């Protein structure tokens, strides 16, 4: 297929304009419409002289035969109803994170997309950034060895949300990255969540997630709306090498360290073990500069044309959502380790 696919964006609020811009400039897509209940807001996105149509009715948009796919950038509670209607209308769907506001709705979306042979993709944007793509490549080729631990920090003086806590606001980024780079996806044996609301906002503003992983590894995610400094960092420790990703360091966002701890043979008293430290080189991989959303919309087009699951498909969104729901249950239960319901759902990790 060489002809452009035809897309429409539903939602012209915070994220919709970014999606519209990338569909508009992509060689794979022709943006034909932007839909929003607020006509003026949608018209501002498309521009005064644009040939892209403005639509205020989702029903009207989905009835059109000149739309192959829709991108949904609306509140999470509306994702499932709009996505299911779009699938029923024969459209392929990409939806911003989280895939839905609950596991039941998300599973309905995944099941219906499979039944109708439509592509359902989740816009886990960070998974299409150059550093994350490189981390995935290095882990897949065995450069790190066995994964031992992951430490992820996402903190800033951010906007305290009125309807979701800091876990649901910030942690989906880190969890989607873990699902993307870890062999087999994000399938922790449980989740322990500790949160605090020191300013009386009504929900957790500072939070910590602990996720034991298969094989004895562990992941830890720190999210915070109250930090005066902004940190976006992830450390992935392996048995051979360790990766440090600093997303706020434009000159060297990714560093690979050939350093670590190695256990030798037990000492004669058998109560201690000989420990050695490997102090090798550190290097920074070259990273191409491409806008992540541009890579994402290209992957969406490729999945449709090739009849395959996209890299961040509905199952990936579901695995992230399952962890978030388990975290909410753990929070209510005083931070106890809580099973992740449905975390074994299989999905494409192509």
Do 114 and 131 have their domain in common? no
DSSP letter assigned to residue 17? H
User: pTM of the entire structure?
Assistant: 0.90
Distance CA 350, CA 340 (A): 23
Range of the domain at 94: 5-118
Cβ atoms 132, 180 nearer than 8 A = yes
Which segments of 200-322 are extended strands (E)? 206-212, 218-224, 226-238, 242-246, 254-266, 273-283
Q: Kindly state whether residue 147 falls inside one of the protein's structural domains.
A: yes
DSSP letter assigned to residue 241? -
Q: Kindly state whether residue 15 falls inside one of the protein's structural domains.
A: yes
Q: Kindly state whether residue 257 falls inside one of the protein's structural domains.
A: yes
Helix (H, G, I), strand (E, B) or coil at 146: coil
Q: Which residues contact 25 (CB under 8 A, 6 or more apart)?
A: 294
Give me the numbers of helices (H) and strands (E) for the chain, helices first please. 9, 14
Do 173 and 204 have their domain in common? yes
Do 87 and 160 have their domain in common? no
Do 82 and 185 have their domain in common? no
Do 103 and 20 have their domain in common? yes
Q: Kindly state whether residue 338 falls inside one of the protein's structural domains.
A: no
> Which pLDDT tens digits describe the chain residue by residue (350 residues)?
569 999 999 999 999 999 999 999 999 999 999 999 999 999 999 987 788 999 999 999 999 999 999 999 999 999 999 999 999 999 999 999 999 999 999 999 999 999 999 999 999 999 999 999 999 999 999 999 999 999 999 999 988 888 889 999 999 999 999 999 999 899 999 999 999 999 999 999 999 999 999 999 999 999 999 999 999 999 999 999 999 999 999 889 999 999 877 776 666 666 666 677 778 899 999 998 889 999 999 999 999 999 999 999 999 999 999 999 999 999 999 999 999 986 434 344 44
Query: Where is the domain boundary, 91, 118, 145?
Result: 118
Query: Where is the domain boundary, 290, 309, 332?
Result: 290
Do 41 and 158 have their domain in common? no
Q: How confident is the model at residue 349, as a pLDDT?
A: 44
Q: Kindly state whether residue 47 falls inside one of the protein's structural domains.
A: yes
Q: Kindly state whether residue 345 falls inside one of the protein's structural domains.
A: no
Do 207 and 79 have their domain in common? no
Query: Where is the domain boundary, 263, 290, 317?
Result: 290
Question: Which value, in Å, is the radius of gyration of the alpha carbons in the chain?
Answer: 22
Do 103 and 10 have their domain in common? yes
Domain count of the chain? 2
Do 57 and 12 have their domain in common? yes
Q: Kindly state whether residue 330 falls inside one of the protein's structural domains.
A: no
Overall residue count recorded for the chain in this entry:
350
Q: Kindly state whether residue 284 falls inside one of the protein's structural domains.
A: yes
Do 92 and 184 have their domain in common? no
Element (H, E) at 216: none
Q: How confident is the model at residue 272, as a pLDDT?
A: 65
CATH of the domain at 48: 3.40.50.720
Do 149 and 281 have their domain in common? yes
Do 161 and 186 have their domain in common? yes
Q: How confident is the model at residue 275, as a pLDDT?
A: 76
CATH of the domain at 172: 3.30.360.10
Distance CA 284, CA 257 (A): 9
């Amino acid at each position: 297929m060489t002809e452009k696919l035809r897309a429409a964006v539903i939602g012209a609020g915070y994220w919709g304009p970014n999606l519209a811009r990338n569909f508009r400039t992509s060689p794979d897509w022709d943006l034909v419409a932007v839909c929003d209940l607020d006509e003026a807001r949608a018209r501002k996105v498309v521009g005064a002289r644009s040939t892209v149509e403005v639509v205020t009715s989702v029903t009207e948009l989905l009835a059109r035969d000149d739309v192959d796919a829709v991108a949904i950038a609306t509140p999470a509670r509306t994702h499932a109803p709009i996505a299911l209607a779009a699938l029923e209308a024969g459209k392929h769907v990409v939806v911003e994170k989280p895939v839905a506001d609950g596991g039941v709705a998300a599973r309905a979306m995944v099941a219906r997309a499979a039944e109708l042979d439509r592509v359902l993709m989740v816009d886990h944007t960070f998974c299409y950034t150059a550093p994350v793509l490189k981390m995935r490549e290095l882990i897949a080729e065995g450069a790190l060895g066995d994964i031992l631990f992951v430490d992820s920090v996402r903190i800033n003086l951010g906007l305290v949300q009125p309807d979701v806590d800091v876990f649901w606001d910030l942690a989906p980024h880190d969890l989607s990255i873990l699902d993307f780079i870890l062999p087999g996806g994000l399938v922790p044996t449980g989740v322990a969540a500790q949160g605090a609301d020191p300013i009386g906002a009504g929900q957790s503003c500072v939070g910590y997630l602990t996720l034991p992983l298969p094989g004895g590894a562990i992941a830890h995610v720190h999210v915070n709306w109250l930090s005066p400094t902004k940190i976006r960092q992830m450390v992935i420790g392996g048995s051979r090498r360790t990766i440090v990703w600093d997303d706020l360091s434009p000159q060297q966002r990714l560093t690979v360290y050939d350093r670590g701890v190695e256990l030798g043979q037990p000492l004669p008293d058998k109560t201690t073990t000989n420990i050695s430290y490997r102090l090798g080189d550190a290097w920074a991989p070259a990273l191409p500069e491409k806008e992540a959303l541009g890579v994402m919309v290209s992957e969406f087009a490729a999945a449709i044309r090739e009849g395959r699951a996209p890299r961040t498909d509905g199952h990936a969104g579901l695995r992230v959502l399952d962890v978030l729901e388990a975290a909410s249950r753990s929070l209510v239960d005083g931070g106890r380790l809580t099973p992740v319901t449905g975390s074994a759902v299989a999905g494409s990790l192509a």
